[in-house]
Amino acid sequence: MILGVAGMIGCGKTTLSRVLAQRFGLQLALESVDDDNPWLDQFYSGAEAMRAYGLHLQLHFLATRFKAMRRMRATGGSWVLDRTWYEDAEIFARGLFEQGYMSSADWTLYEQLYAELLHAPAARPPRILLYLEGPLDTILERIATRGRPGEREADPEYFAALHDRYARWIGSFRKCPVLRLDVREYDVVGDSGAAEEIVARVRRQLEGELPQTELWPAPASSMPTPAPAAQARKSRKARSA
């Protein structure tokens, strides 16, 4: 079984992926960023750099997807994906081509490689896709406070176009069931209780498919004091009861 976690930069995908893996005893496939990605900071250093390094960056992500899928196939078991291969190609790489940061020849090469990836035995759709979403201004605020240095310095118009592509993509996504999560209500980075609520929702939706006994259940005595966002959610639930 595969659980996919998708969404814009700054939404908390990696944090949520780690929580799901720990709470359900699943294996974790993280996106290749930071020190093991030599192209990321160069790509975000300006419009010319985005044109120069767009294909390099996307091929790096594609190559690490192949590597992760080979490892998943060899290891077996159930996994959590921090961003899916669908987003790599259908949002990021296609967006670079549409915005003129990737040439037609580059895009054709990328599409051919992506088509090969989709034919790999390990490229089965996730059992469920957890989609983190929110208004653009909220996303930009999160990127400004939590993003990597290159992301914080990138042109906001790039993120505006990316946000629009994500909205169109999820609207037509039909490869597996989708659980949509508004980051204003589920701030998994700033509110640890939000992650626990998502864990409970996933458990209810996949009853019988997840491990019967969680490996690291959260003891009641160690549960965090609800943050303001979590308290607001509880108040809304009480009013609607």
pTM score, whole prediction: 0.79
Return the H-helix or E-strand segment holding 161.
helix 156-171
pLDDT higher than threshold 80 for residue 181: yes
Distance CA(52)–CA(15), nearest Å, equals: 31
pLDDT of residue 236: 44
pLDDT of residue 221: 38
Q: Give the tokens for residue 11.
A: 């939404």
The pLDDT confidence band at residue 237, using thresholds 50, 70 and 90, is very low
Q: Which residue did the predictor score with more confidence, 189 or 225?
A: 189
Domain boundaries, the chain: 2-240
| Residue of 82, 106, 187, 191 with catalytic role | 82
Q: Domain 2-240: which CATH class? A: alpha beta
pLDDT tens digits along 132-174: 999 999 999 988 887 676 677 777 888 899 999 999 999 999 9
Helix axes 192-205, 228-240, angle to 10 degrees: 50
Backbone angles phi, psi at 182, to 5 degrees: -75, 125
82 a catalytic residue: yes
Q: Give the tokens for residue 149.
A: 């240095």
